Structure 1
Amino acid sequence: MKVVIGVGNIFMKDDGCGSFIAQALDGLIPIDVKDLGMGSLSIIDDIRDYDEIIIIDAADIDNDVEVFEIKTELEDEIPQAVISMSLGGSHSMSMRDILTILNSDGKNRKIIVIGCKPKEIDVGYGLSEEMIKNGLKAIDKLKEFIDFDVDEAKKRFLSIIREIKR
């Protein structure tokens, strides 16, 4: 089973991109979608039953959007950009922590992280113009893993962002 997870704090500007994308995808794509927001320790329970997990989140990366494919049993091969990601604010779990816990049950999972480069991570609601463009690119990248109506997903994403700016 596959799941798409949007992660991010919508009250920290560009950090909320993954959550807004998940909201746009909900009910549109043929697999489960979860908007985990800032995540928490319960993230493990939310994703434990899936064998393929696609995470969309803001990430400290070089390019506008980057895709990382990770096998949980190959923890030593995880890129630094993914290792440095955390879920849950001040009570956060690092991506390494999450992968270690997921790997403890012996089920080999494929994890795909679609990282979007933020311009502004600061208190505020809404996305920068750069992050809106990166969010649209992330939706394009997701098409490599799931068959869905990309144009409709982009329309929904932009509609959510427009509502925020009102």
Structure 2
Amino acid sequence: MPGEARVRVPMTRQFGNSILNIYIPSLILMVISYLTFFFRTSIFDVRVMVTLTALLVLATLFAQASNSLPNTSYFKMVDIWLLFCVGVTFLVIIFHILIDNRLFKEKKTTQVKPFAMPAYREIQLLGLRGRCRWSPDLSVEQLELVAKVFVFFLMTTFMIGYLAYIIS
């Protein structure tokens, strides 16, 4: 028709801004916190400070991303991603503390034992000795290996599931 004009407006999402400003920086920070497992075990302060700095930057990035997106009553996928990054970084800090505690116990030269432990002996008599207390006999190297493998497996599994969900 001569008096009619048609305008076509494509309604597609632009992912470039989110990928460059949210996903890549948070992934890099999460990898940096994971790489602290490969620092020398004896420099606990450096390991924790790097991981804590990454955690603080992730928290700031999360707040910035939340403020730039519209408020909704449900979780957005970027919220789930950033919460996972913060959670993994926190888990890395927990592992560093466990590793440092195990290292400290191995370095101890004197051991103080109480004179009598009636409660423990009663438990031992009941046959519950192995079930009443948790005392892992992992060395520092074994605990570090468990931490490296567990966090790597967790990160890889989440990323594969996250990408599969987004693509589908």
TM-score by length of 1: 0.29
TM-score by length of 2: 0.29
Structure richer in helix, relative to its length? 2
Structure richer in strand, relative to its length? 1
Q: Whose radius of gyration is greater, 1 or 2?
A: 2
Q: Which has the higher contact order (CA 8 A, sep 6+)?
A: 1
